[in-house]
Amino acid sequence: MRCLVVLNTRSPGIGDGLTYETGGLPVVIGSLVLAPLRKKSIEGIVVDVTNVAADTEETFTPRRIEQVIGTQPLLTPEAVEALWWVAEYYHCSLRSALTPFVPAAPWRNAAMKETMLCSFISEPAKPGVRQKVVLDFLREHGPLPRDALRRKTSAASATIRSLTEKGYIKEERTADIPPPVTAFETTEARPLLSPKQKRVCDMIAASEKPSLLFGITGSGKTEIYASLIADAAAQGKQSILLVPEILLTEYTVHRFRKMFAPERIAVIHSRLTSSARRNAWMRIRSGSVALIIGSRSALFSPCARPGLIIIDEEHEWTYKNEQTPRYNARDLAEKLCSLSGAKLVLGSATPSLEAWARAKQDHYTLARLPERYMQRALPVVRVIDLGTVRFGSLYPFSPPLIQAIEERLARKEQTVLFLNRRGVASAMLCLQCRKRLVSPVSQLPYTVHRGPDNRMYLLDHVAGVSAEVPAECPHCRSTQLLPVGAGTQKLENILSSLFPTAKILRADSDTLQHPEQMRQVLDDMRERRADILLGTQSVVKGLDLPMVTLAAVLVADIGLSLPHFRAGERVFQLLTQLTGRSGRAGPGDVYIQTFRPDAPEVQAAAAHRTEEYLETELTLRTLLNYPPSVPMIRLLITGEKAEPRARSVHQAVLRLITHLGVEAQATVAPTLFGIGLEWHVLIKGNDIHQLLAHIPLTDVTVDVDPMDVV
């Protein structure tokens, strides 16, 4: 027998594993083993096992596996099959595909704990006194773990070892596996569903296909999630609930803590320490956890009895991993569910074009919730043309918005304000030459921030580098430098001056470093310890704050003009999600401030015409031959010689398209933020995966189904 082992090493050239002889050891797919590599013993995961015919001609003699660690495989066969799929579909090595499936090394720390079990075999003719005590106790109470046997009989290790060596006691290693959970108890009754929610829930439960839960903001999708999770728990099956941002995990856990005891819930995300992540991983694999909540990495949880995967806000770009392996959580979840028999539910008020197209093609079951819970009215949306507003020093606050905030404060109601830009100002401008200060790394304008010492500094968000504000302009040497535009820090100062008695909370990546901080912000809003919540994208994603009756996007144009075929879709989703933050428990209003009031994305979001927008956009994508109507692959090249290498790859792709007769197109260009050191080749068309097998890709990053194409 031979096995293919993916080793825990970064040694070049062996990313797709090495072949070893099993040497008669109990090796199965998913086993954790020790295998020789040069002069060392390295941990590895077995990803394939094959028989070798006796008459097979050998071209080499494989080395033997040294040890199988644990009596239980570290990974299930379904997980191993999924990692093979990840490696093939996303065109990466098996080692790269394996990384998210396992906890941090050493992997042996996550192996199932084992016990040495002692059993009575026979008794010698004249046993010693201590031997007699051990054998009599074992005969009456065994089999017993060795440590328990020593405690119960006060026997020395040497006595037990002697009896074992002479064949009077048999010792066997056994995995310390808890008994399977036949049903997880819920600590409160399942949520009360309206008749429409109940019909949708039954439709999803009965479907054998993945389901797209298309429910407008405030329609009660979370209650349906909870009901489906309760159904899975009643069968002793585990559920995974994915949220689009790590900061939202604490908020989501809060909503489900009333359903399950704390030990039945596990939280998984990339900001956990290695030990915390490993402990959660082991609890999940033992089968004692009913619900796993987390960001996209929670999808790799080693469920003992998988029953349900829910991806909330499935349209969010954060579900696409931008490091190798560059998987999309939606597609990987679909594969995992097909392998394990679990149910997949995708929920959104603004479905991605990919999910919408699959629902229209009957690949997904489409379940609609077109009304808010308890038939509450949608908020009234007002579009304000910023081009007609005189701001003075209050940009971007228009007089109607200021008045609306004042009214909420007078009525003891709350406001949510959204701006997709951090900092004090969007740029530092020289008033003499009218040029902005630009980062030498990304060649993009610096954003202006204010530090704890109240001094301003410059930050390049793309490259992650900062700089002091210079005394003079590097272009013309003028000292007339002025921060212009708006960021969340500046807006917080304006709000404080406008409403000095209001309690204002700011939620952006400068103020929120951990999920616990986001939970505190939301607790303050729920307990009415705050009046205004100002923030970036985290404030528009799925928050249920009953006292919010006013929501506003301060500048809706950010991102609308990007040279990206998904730019409009992204802006529409943000605007529509924001409208869902207002009026969830009563009448509400939404203000959309924009310099482009006639943009179709703005008009559709203001009129709550989501399905109409999706249909129009899908038709346009099909006409222009863009995803989801055709697949797309992005080949990314970086470095000093990125341009000639990218052009060479582009020419090779064009030749292959002609040679193989593939219906496809390919373009080459520098990336928007790559300062000339990053180029990409975009390939779109049918059957384009076959092209990759014919292109040398050792210095090329392959991004299948890319989200970022600028």
Cβ–Cβ under 8 Å, residues 224 and 308: no
Domain-located, residue 584: yes
Q: How far is CA 614 from CA 220, 568, 573, in A?
A: 21, 11, 10
Nearest in space to 606 (alpha carbons), one of 454, 379, 393:
379
**pLDDT per residue over 317-346, tens digit each?**
999 999 999 999 999 999 999 999 999 999
Last residue in a domain, options 375, 390, 415:
375
DSSP 319: G
Residues 544-569: what's their mean pLDDT? 86
Q: Do 397 and 370 belong together in one domain?
A: no
Question: Does residue 390 sit in the same domain as residue 344?
Answer: no
Mean pLDDT score of the chain: 91
Average pLDDT of span 642-652:
96
The residue segments making up the domain with residue 567 are 380-426+485-620
Q: How many residues does the chain have?
A: 710
Q: State how far the Cα of 681 lies from the Cα of 698, in Å rounded to an integer.
A: 15
- For residue 111, pLDDT over 90 is answered with no
Helix (H) / strand (E) containing 426? none
pLDDT higher than threshold 90 for residue 510: no
- 242 & 129 share domain: no
* Angle (CA) 44 45 48, round 5°: 125
E strands, 65-184, in order: 67-69, 114-120, 144-145, 169-175
Do 359 and 217 share a structural domain? yes
| pLDDT of 347 strictly over 70 | yes
Contact status, residue 115 vs residue 142, Cβ threshold 8 Å: no
Do residues 593 and 646 share a domain?
no
Whether 402 is covered by a domain: the verdict is yes
Which amino acid type is present at position 507?
A
Q: How confident is the model at residue 55 (pLDDT cuts 50, 70, 90)?
A: low
Q: For position 542, what pLDDT does the model report?
A: 66
| Residue keyed to tokens 């899975």 | 232
* CATH number of the domain encompassing residue 279: 3.40.50.300
Beta partners for residue 506, in sequence order: 534
418 domain-assigned: yes
CATH number at residue 642: 3.30.70.260
- As a three-state string, the secondary structure of 182-208 is CCCCCCCCCCCCCHHHHHHHHHHHHCC
Domain presence at residue 447: no
- Check whether 70 has a pLDDT greater than 90: no
Q: For residues 670 and 547, state if they share a domain.
A: no
pLDDT band at 385 (very low <50, low <70, confident <90, very high): very high
Backbone angles phi, psi at 20, to 5 degrees: -135, 155
Pairing type for strands 465-468 and 456-460 reads antiparallel
The domain that contains 171 carries what CATH number?
1.10.10
Contacts of 619 (CB under 8 A, 6+ apart): none
Residue among 709, 667, 46 nearest 326 (CA): 709
Cα separation, 699 vs 430, whole angstroms = 41
Q: Among 250, 283, 278, which residue's Cα sits nearest to residue 266?
A: 283
Q: How many domains does the chain have?
A: 5
Q: How confident is the model at residue 58 (pLDDT cuts 50, 70, 90)?
A: low
Q: At 561, is the pLDDT very low, low, confident or very high (cuts 50, 70, 90)?
A: low
Task: Report the alpha-carbon distance of residue 702 to residue 637 in Å, rounded.
Answer: 9
- Determine the pLDDT at residue 373: 83
Whether residue 404 sits in one domain with residue 309: no
The residue among 422 and 545 whose pLDDT is bigger is 545
Whether pLDDT at 481 is above 70: yes
My answer on whether 556 and 648 are in the same domain is: no
Mean pLDDT, rounded, for 63-92:
95
pLDDT above 80: residue 48: yes
Greater model confidence, 439 or 679: 679
Q: What is the mean pLDDT of residues 637-643?
A: 94
Contact in structure between 601 and 674 (CB atoms under 8 Å):
no
**Based on the domain organization, do 235 and 297 belong to the same domain?**
yes
Which DSSP letter does residue 100 get?
Answer: G
Structure tokens at 7: 């080793």
User: Which DSSP letter does residue 446 get?
Assistant: P
Q: Does residue 190 lie within any of the structural domains?
A: no
Please enumerate in sequence order all residues whose Cβ is within 8 A of that of 598, keeping only pairs 6 or more positions apart, or say none. none
Q: Is the pTM of this model over 0.85?
A: yes
- Distance (Å, whole) CA 238 – CA 309: 9
- 446 part of a folded domain: no
Nearest to 9 by CA among 75, 111, 82, 105: 105
Q: What is the pLDDT of residue 636?
A: 97
Give pLDDT, residue 90. Answer: 97
Instruction: Work out whether strand 447-450 and strand 456-460 pair parallel, antiparallel, or are unpaired.
Output: antiparallel
Dist. CA 332–CA 303, nearest whole Å: 15
Q: SS3 of 171, please?
A: strand
Examine residue 306 and say whether the peptide bond preceding it is cis (omega within 30 degrees of 0): no
- Whether 488 shows a pLDDT value over 90: the answer reads no
Distances (CA, A) of 450 to 172, 358, 467, 510: 64, 46, 12, 10
Whether the Cβ atoms of residue 103 and residue 278 lie closer than 8 Å to each other? yes
* Residue 492: C-alpha distances to residues 42, 439, 534, 541, 606 (Å): 54, 25, 7, 21, 26
What integer pLDDT is reported at residue 423 of this predicted model?
A: 59
pLDDT at 436: 85
232 domain-assigned: yes
Q: Per-residue pLDDT for 555 more than 70?
A: yes
In a domain, 434, yes or no: no
Give 631's Cβ-side CA count (13 Å radius): 14
Co-location of 584 and 499 in the same domain: yes
pLDDT digits (tens, 9 = 90+) for 185-244: 888 778 889 999 999 999 999 999 999 999 999 899 999 999 999 999 999 999 999 999
CA distance 364 to 441: 44
Q: Are residues 589 and 571 in the same domain?
A: yes
**Which of 79, 94, 109 is the last residue before a domain boundary?**
109
Rounded-to-integer distance, Cα 577 and Cα 590, Å:
11
Residue 163 has pLDDT above 90, yes or no: yes
The residues, ordered by sequence, that sit 6+ positions from 528 with a Cβ below 8 Å of its Cβ are 412, 414, 547
120 DSSP β-pair partners: 169
Q: How confident is the model over 348-356, as a mean pLDDT?
A: 97
pLDDT at res. 424: 64
User: For residue range 400-438, what is the model confidence (pLDDT) as tens digits?
Assistant: 999 999 999 999 999 999 987 655 677 788 888 888 898
Q: pLDDT exceeding 70 applies to what percent of the chain?
A: 97
Rg (CA), the chain: 30
In the chain, % of residues over pLDDT 90: 66
**DSSP 8-state assignment for residue 219:** S
Q: What is the pLDDT of residue 626?
A: 94
Whether residue 388 is found in the same domain as residue 318: no
For residue 487, which amino acid is it? G
684, containing H or E segment: strand 678-685
